[in-house]
Amino acid sequence: MDYEVHEVEISKEFKICPLCGYQDGFHTMIRKEAGKFKKLYICPRCSAVFDLKLK
């Protein structure tokens, strides 16, 4: 894996990229970690990967 995963804590919604300001939401991806599938979010503009720590 050659990308950094940014951990983000959502206050109310997660629609705007905190890194580049892109405002139209995110792509999703799935990654297996320690035997569990985890959903990550990718900014369509800057390609930053986010883990929203949803549980």
Q: Which residues bind Zn ion (CB under 5 A)?
A: 17, 19-20, 22, 43, 45-46, 48
Minimum CB distance to Zn ion, residue 11 (Å): 18
How long a stretch of residues is the chain?
55
- Residue 29's nearest CA partner among 20, 17, 37, 21 is 37
Minimum CB distance to Zn ion, residue 8 (Å): 12
Cβ proximity to Zn ion, 10 vs 46, nearer residue: 46
**Residue 43, both tokens:** 């900014």
Minimum CB distance to Zn ion, residue 37 (Å): 24
Measure the CA–CA gap between 44 and 21, rounded to whole angstroms.
11
